[in-house]
Structure formats: C-alpha cells, structure tokens
Amino acid sequence: MSFRHLFTPHRIRTCEFRNRIFSTAHQTILARNGSPGDDMVAYHEARARGGAGLIVMESSRPNADEISASYYLDSSSDDCIPGYRKVADAVHRHDTRLFAQINHGGRITYAQDGMQRVAYAPSVVPDHRFHCMPREMSNDYVWFIIDAFAGAAARMAEAGLDGVELTASHGMLIAQFLNPLTNHRTDEFGNTPEGRFKIVAEMLKATRKAVGPDKVIGLRISADEVEPDGLDEAAWLSICQRLNEEPELDYLSVTTGSMMGLAGSVHVVPPMQIDHAYLAPQAGAVKDQVRKSVFVAGRINQPQLAEQILADGQADMCGMTRALISDPDMPNKARHGRLDDIRACIGCNQACIGHYHMGVRISCIQHPVTGRERELHPHPKTSTSRHVVVVGGGPAGMKAAAVAAERGHRVTLCEATGQLGGQVLLAQQLPGRAEFGGIVTNLSREMELAGVDVRLKSRVDAAQIEALCADAIVMATGALPYVPDVDIADEVHAVNAWQVLNGEVNPGASVVIADWRCDWVGLGLAEKLARDGSHVRLCVDGEMAGQNLQKYLRWHWVGQVHKLGVEIVPYARFFGALGETAFFMHTLSGEAIECAEMDTLIVAQGHRPDTRLEAVLRSSGVPVTLAGDCRSPRSAEEAVYEGMMAGREV
C-alpha cells in the first residue's frame, strides 16, 4: 500500500513532525515520586525509535494539591525538569517531537492516602462516576490555577520539550468551566458564554508568555461528552469557533467522552466493541470549523485507517496510542511496507488502561516487553542451538515457539487440533469480540518470521517425543471446562460454555448462565444468546457481571446486555439444578436464589489445567517447562507472558 499522506511531514510553528503518527497522553504508572524516571524514558524512547512522529506525555498536575499518588507527574515545581529533560533527550535522538500534557481534574478527583480529597471546581455540582461533591473555586484560586498551568508549561519548555497540551477533554476542569450545566458562576469566569470561555483565553495567553513564540500549544477536547450533563457536539463546535480566533493556540486534539459518568468514561479508552476510527467524522467537523491543525484519536489501530483519515481531510495527525503500545515499531514497519508484520492492537484494554486502574505499570497482553523495556532487553541469542518441542498451539505455546526460534533454536510446535489459537477461537465467536482473534494472526506471523515448524493434528505421546529427539519441551496444553461437584439432575439440560460457542447444543427460549469467573465468558454468552432470541438470566458469583474485566469494557458490555433484556443476578453461588430450576445461594445473606422455568443451564464455572500429558512428558527425561493455563487457568496476558519467558529461558 502507498502511504501518500501518513509519512509526509507536518509543521506547526518551528516544529516539524516527520510523519502524521502520534501517541496521545496516557497514564503509564512509570513515574517515580512525581517525576519521569528511567522506566518512563525507556518506554517513550522505544516508541520514538519505532518511528512515531510525536509523543504526548501523560498528563501532569500543575499544582501539588492535585497529586493523589506518586505515580502521577507533578509539574508544580522545578524538581520535574531533569526527568522531563531525560525523556526529551531520548526521544529527540530518534527525530521524534515531544509534548507534555497539563491537566486539572476539578470535580473529577481521586482519593489520596485512603482519604477523599477536597476537590475544587467552577461550581458545587457533583459528578456521577467518582461521586465527588466539589468546593467552588474562589476567583483568586482560578487565577492561581491559570498561573500554575503557565508555570508548568515554562518548566516543560526549559526541559527542552517541543510543546504543551492543555486538557479540556473528558469533562476535566477546563471543560467544566465551559459547560453551563457545571459552571453556575456569576463572576468574570461564568454567567455568559464569554465568561465561561475566559479561563481558556487567559490560560492560552499566560502559557504563550511562559513558553515563548516557538513552542507549540494545543488543546485537547471531547467532540461530544456523551453524558446527560455534558457538552454535546453542537456546543463543542461553537466553542471551536471561538478557539479559532485564539492566536496562541496551534492545534486541537479531538477525542470524545467524559469522566463525569460511566457511559462517557467508556470513550476514554474505547474497547474492541466500538468501531475503528469512529471519531474521524467528528474530527472532520471540527476541521471544517477551524484553521488550526486538528489531531484525532480513537481506535485507529492500523496505518491504513490513519492514511484514509488523512486522505479524507478529516485530520492532520492521527493518534495511534494503543497501536504503539502493542507494537512500538508499527510506524517503521508500515513505512517499509511490512504491513503483515505489524502486531495490531485488538482493543482488549486488559494490560494498558486495565493495568492503570489496578495501579500497576502499563503493558500489553500481546507484547509483554511494553512497560518492561529496561528489564526485558531484546531476546538473547542462544549460543547452542537445540531442538525445542512446544506442545500446544494456544497463545502460550505460540509465543514460546516464536521467541525460542527467534533466539536461534530449532522449534517444532505440535497442536492436537487442526487450528491454532486455543481458547481464543472460542472468545472470538462472541458478539463484538471477533477482533480478539487478532492474537492468533499476530502470533502466527511471529512464528512464521522466526521459522517455527508448525504441525497441526499432531497429538504428542512418549513415542513422538522420542522420535522428535527433543532437547527441551515447552508444555502449553491449556485448560478444560471445570465441572463443579454439585447435584445436577440427569433430566436437566445442562451444558458448558464451549458447547454453546461451538454450536453443539440448542439453548432454547429460557437460559440460565451460572457464571463463576465473572469475565468475558458470562457476559459474552448472555449477549450472544439474547441476540439469538433467548431470555437470559446471568447469575454471577461476584459483585457484578464482568467483575474481572477492565472497567470500561465491563461498563460498555453491561449497557449492551441491559438493552437486550438480560437479567443480571449478582452474589449468586451455584449449588445445583433439578428439573427446570437452577439453585444458587446468595453469597452474603446465605438465602436461596431459585431460577425456575429454565430450558437450558449453562455451567460456566471456569477451567481446570489440562495436565494429562505432564507425567508423560516428564518421564521422557527431557527438561519440561510449563506455560499458560496448564499451570493455572488465567487469561491470555499470563499465557503470552509465560510463553515469552519460556522461550527466552529454554
């Protein structure tokens, strides 16, 4: 494919980007004591080395009162300058430009040291996600925040960064001032459209004075906040017309959604159920209104999508953040025509934003090196090539085979079935989850490039191990459905999730799902069967459906199944079934829960390790390493990581 637009330069003031690919600001949990540390330097340098044109660092807090954890960047004092300078020097070595983002959450706030902080906002209006009741900012405090933003920007300039981005997206403080539903002030910063806009105008003016004429200044906006009390697309387009007349502003970075509520928060990092490049039309509408450069992000996971957005004139730069998390070398691969070699992001949200919500460093389920750049250097080449036999063709086995072969071993992968992928083949059959199958596509390509000998329909036994003359074995045989020790009468039409997904059973008109794991299996089956016409009761052995999923994915999915009429029963521990009734116990009260008039019971009670070959393989005398679900059933993230480590160590 010819990229006539993607790899052309773009210039703003004195700053030129070598291409139109950029990484948006996103939390990495790689800061240390409020400053960029060596791990953050290595993380961003990997993406610069991989060919990104621009990197926007994660949001920093310009006033110390806003810092709720040590892994947030604190730009309120000169202490941050050395760390920012390290990142700038590393990124600039690869001809990539670097911006910093400055943000204040206003009423969107987090606890600090276990206690709720005092939040300051334009007016006393609560949010509907964090359930914070803020304190109205005094007029003096508004001016203090304006000065704080300018002071932070000056520090970024001193550190050698190329620009700064102010945050008015996702319902943050600036957006709260712009919104008449959250700004009820009667002073100079409220009351009229001009008053509500004043904080933006003053911030831009103060920031320009602080950074000088050459540095780039941008503003990130949500083209639609997708909340009942949020600014809609028409309101933002009106604001953009005002922004167009601000001479100090150089670009608008377009996203959507708001952290003021759950529905709007989903768009902060949209999961795979949301369309690719879905915000391009909204960015195009903004671009029609302004003479500024327009950036856009939102599920742009392939360079072909970015090229089309640019060709259609909808934006000047394309944010491909998760694409760069999944494959830091994506820009260089695309530029050299190696499109099949790109490890495409699948929008699972598990190890990127999912790790952030757990308070642990960023990573990627497909690329565990992300976030571990300093400890996981390029796979070490082996000094002695051996024959490594990998048993099992799921994610763990595929990754182990690819890495071992890349290191210089001769690798044979044996898969008992006729298709690679393991449980991924089941997951991708669920509504909106087809993209999850991209793991198999990406890992298959990694094995192909490394020269792995893949043998399908190849069941391994002691004789085959001997015939293969294996020097080392990686066992990655996965897991099987777990059957709980409960009473299920013979007349009950009880099936497992695998049987449903493989089309082996007819679920009928009324289905009860006994969901122990509270992950994609229960929610996915509920959506699939409801769409197929069944009435579904999803009984989860936890606090909520999808409890063990990343929250943005969970919230979106729960909204979908609610529209389909799925009944969700929480705190339900499965105890058995008789006739047309399934029996559960409320895990907190101990009282019985009965689901009657049931045609089919789907027993989704997790998995157990498939260890049937372990004794056979160990008796061969060949060293055996286990990876993935055969050790303990978990998720694709653990499987790929353990497969990679097995391949590195074998």
CA distance 291 to 313: 13
Residue 338 CB partners (closer than 8 Å, separation 6+): none
Domain 387-481+609-649 CATH superfamily: NAD(P)-binding Rossmann-like Domain (3.40.50.720)
Q: Which amino acid is at 245?
A: E
Phi, psi torsion values for 262, nearest 5 degrees: -70, -40
CA distance 615 to 57: 50
- Third-level CATH fold of 487-605: FAD/NAD(P)-binding domain (3.50.50)
Scanning the structure block, which residue is given the tokens 């409220």? 190
Residue 576 β-bridge partners = 487, 583
State pTM to two decimals. 0.97
CA distance 562 to 567: 8
Detail the DSSP E strand segments found in 264-363: 293-296, 317-319
Going by CATH, does the domain composed of 10-358 fall within 3.20.20.70? yes
Helix (H, G, I), strand (E, B) or coil at 571: coil
Helix (H, G, I), strand (E, B) or coil at 4: coil
Q: How far is CA 146 from the centre of its chain?
A: 32
> Please, how many CA atoms are within 13 Å of residue 62, restricted to the half-sphere of its CB?
28
Q: Which helix (H) or strand (E) holds 197?
A: helix 193-211
> Please, how many CA atoms are within 13 Å of residue 200, restricted to the half-sphere of its CB?
32
Q: 565, exposed or middle or buried, with CB in 10 Å at 0-12, 13-18, 19+?
A: exposed
Tokens of 56: 């926007």
Under 8 Å between Cβ of 224 and 256: yes
Q: Taking phi first (over 0 means left), then psi (-120 to 50 degrees means alpha), and beta for anything else, what does residue 299 get? A: left
**Which among 603, 607, 602, 627 is positioned nearest to 617, based on CA atoms?**
627
pLDDT at residue 141, rounded to an integer: 97
Under 8 Å between Cβ of 200 and 243: yes
**Which among 354, 448, 356 is positioned nearest to 402, based on CA atoms?**
448
Tokens of 211: 């950074």
pLDDT at residue 68, rounded to an integer: 72
User: How many C-beta atoms lie closer than 10 Å to residue 515's C-beta?
Assistant: 30
SS3 per-residue string spanning 108-133: CCCEECCEECCCEECCCCCCCCCCCC
Under 8 Å between Cβ of 636 and 440: no
User: How many C-beta atoms lie closer than 10 Å to residue 443's C-beta?
Assistant: 26
Q: Where are the alpha helices (DSSP H) in 503-567?
A: 520-531, 551-563
Tokens of 201: 């105008």
CA distance 228 to 182: 11
Phi, psi torsion values for 150, nearest 5 degrees: -65, -40
Residue 32 β-bridge partners = 35
Burial 235-259 (b: 16+ CB within 10 A, else e): bbbebbeebeebeebbbbbbbbbbb
Tokens of 567: 């009944």
**Which among 90, 200, 224, 115 is positioned nearest to 149, based on CA atoms?**
200
DSSP strand pairing (10-12 vs 15-17): antiparallel
Tokens of 32: 């240390």
Burial 168-183 (b: 16+ CB within 10 A, else e): bbbbbbbbbbbbeebb
* Domain map (residue ranges) of the chain: 10-358, 387-481+609-649, 487-605
Q: Which helix (H) or strand (E) holds 639?
A: helix 636-649
Q: Which amino acid is at 307?
A: E
* Ordered mean pLDDT values, 10 residues apiece, the chain (650 residues): 94 98 98 95 98 98 82 94 98 98 92 83 96 96 98 98 98 98 98 97 98 98 96 97 97 97 96 97 97 98 98 98 98 97 98 96 98 95 96 98 98 98 97 97 98 97 94 98 97 98 96 98 98 98 98 97 98 98 98 98 98 96 97 98 97
CA distance 270 to 353: 10
DSSP strand pairing (600-604 vs 494-496): parallel
DSSP 229: T
